[in-house]
């Protein structure tokens, strides 16, 4: 058999998606716990310390506790929760060659948040190009399918008897306290918190994260064609991220469901520009990114299980 992998929290949305991507692979041996023992800490501890890679698909506090159960110095961890995103190696290999190398060699990798993945895929290059400063006043909105809310929200939306309010897009975290903001600020080296508006809507999966800017806010005032060329060059070596050379109007948030792909679309006018990252919140925004990071950490083909 291949590398031993344990999914701690395999009964949740992300854990189930990771399992689906791995269970038929011959280079992976999945360690599993019987249903009635899935909350047994001693049983989980045995599995965690028997694995080469552990996925933590758990609430933040439970994920922190799971890390404390590790006694095997060779056990490596990919945490899909928010618990370690500003402390561990950040699992977004396309951002830089240095970040990719850190993921390959790290024992502790934090999987990016879904909304954060979209925002960072745009803001990080803008900062790297020197087009915006750390003090830039950024505004971002991000729409997601209801699967991003986990099993409880999925059941809520798919209930035959449900509130009519679920049939329209719903804005949330309006207090500007969304849990993905800290990782966006740290990774993009921002001094000023972006105004961030997440939206959940009545479709299963898919995400479109948009950063809006006036052209006058970009140093050198590049036009849309120049920005597309800059972003295309930035992500030219990426297996999963591409930049569209076309204008998209309308732009569907669920266009890449079922894939680990991400497409960045740059639209607008000479004065106002929208940068939109389109991807699957369960793919590149969660389980797909986690499997991609695992492949890198185990020196396996990056696209294995993600075709």
114 is catalytic: yes
Composition of the chain by helix, strand, coil, percent to 5: 35, 20, 40
The whole-number pLDDT of residue 1 equals 58
**Given 57, 114, 205, 265, which residue is catalytic?**
114
Cβ neighbours of 21 (radius 10 Å): 21
The whole-number pLDDT of residue 63 equals 97
Residue 139 has pLDDT above 70, yes or no: yes
HSE value, Cβ hemisphere, 13 Å, CA-based, for 165: 4
Residue with tokens 């404390």: 68
Query: How does pLDDT run across 21-36, given as a tens digit for each residue?
Result: 999 999 999 999 887 8
**Average pLDDT, whole number, for the chain?**
95
Ramachandran bin of 189, using left for φ above 0, alpha for ψ from -120 to 50, beta for the remaining angles: left
**How far apart are the C-alpha atoms of 185 and 176, rounded to whole Å?**
13
Quick one: tokens of 212? Answer: 């809006």
Task: Write down the pTM of the prediction.
Answer: 0.95
Query: How does pLDDT run across 39-95, given as a tens digit for each residue?
Result: 888 999 999 999 999 999 999 999 999 999 999 999 999 999 999 999 999 999 999
Query: How does pLDDT run across 201-253, given as a tens digit for each residue?
Result: 999 999 999 999 999 999 999 999 999 999 999 999 999 999 999 998 899 99
**Domains of the chain by start residue, with CATH:** 3-112+286-297 (3.40.50.720), 114-281 (3.30.360.10)
Residues paired with residue 211 on neighbouring β-strands, in sequence order: 140, 275
**How far apart are the C-alpha atoms of 208 and 206, rounded to whole Å?**
7
For residue 190, give the 3-state DSSP assignment.
coil
Residue 307 has pLDDT above 80, yes or no: no
Query: How does pLDDT run across 141-179, given as a tens digit for each residue?
Result: 999 999 988 899 999 999 988 999 999 999 999 999 999
């Amino acid at each position: 058999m291949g590398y031993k992998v344990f999914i701690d929290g395999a009964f949740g949305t992300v854990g189930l998606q990771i399992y689906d991507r791995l269970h038929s692979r011959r280079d992976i041996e999945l360690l599993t716990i019987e249903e009635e023992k899935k909350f047994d800490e001693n049983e989980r501890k045995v599995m965690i310390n028997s694995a080469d890679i552990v996925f933590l698909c758990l609430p933040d506090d439970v994920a922190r506790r799971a890390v404390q159960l590790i006694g095997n110095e060779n056990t490596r961890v990919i945490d899909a929760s928010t618990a370690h995103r500003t402390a561990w190696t950040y699992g977004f290999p396309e951002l830089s060659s240095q970040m990719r190398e850190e993921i390959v060699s790290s024992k502790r990798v934090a999987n990016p948040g879904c909304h954060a993945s979209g925002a960072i895929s745009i803001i990080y290059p803008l900062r790297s190009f020197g087009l915006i400063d750390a003090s830039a006043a950024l505004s971002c909105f991000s729409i997601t399918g209801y699967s991003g809310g986990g099993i409880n929200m999925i059941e809520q939306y798919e209930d035959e008897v449900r509130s009519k309010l679920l049939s329209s897009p719903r804005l949330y975290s309006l207090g500007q306290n969304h849990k993905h903001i800290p990782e966006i600020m740290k990774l993009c080296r921002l001094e000023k918190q972006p105004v961030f508006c997440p939206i959940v809507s009545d479709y299963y999966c898919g995400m479109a994260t948009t950063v809006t800017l006036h052209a006058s806010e970009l140093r050198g005032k590049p036009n849309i064609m120049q920005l597309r060329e800059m972003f295309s060059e930035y992500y030219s070596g990426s297996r999963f991220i591409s930049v569209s050379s076309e204008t998209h109007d309308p732009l569907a948030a669920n266009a890449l469901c079922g894939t680990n792909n991400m497409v960045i679309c740059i639209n607008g006018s000479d004065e106002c520009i929208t940068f939109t990252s389109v991807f699957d919140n369960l793919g590149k925004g969660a389980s797909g990114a986690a499997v991609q990071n695992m492949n890198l950490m185990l020196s396996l083909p990056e696209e294995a299980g993600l075709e």
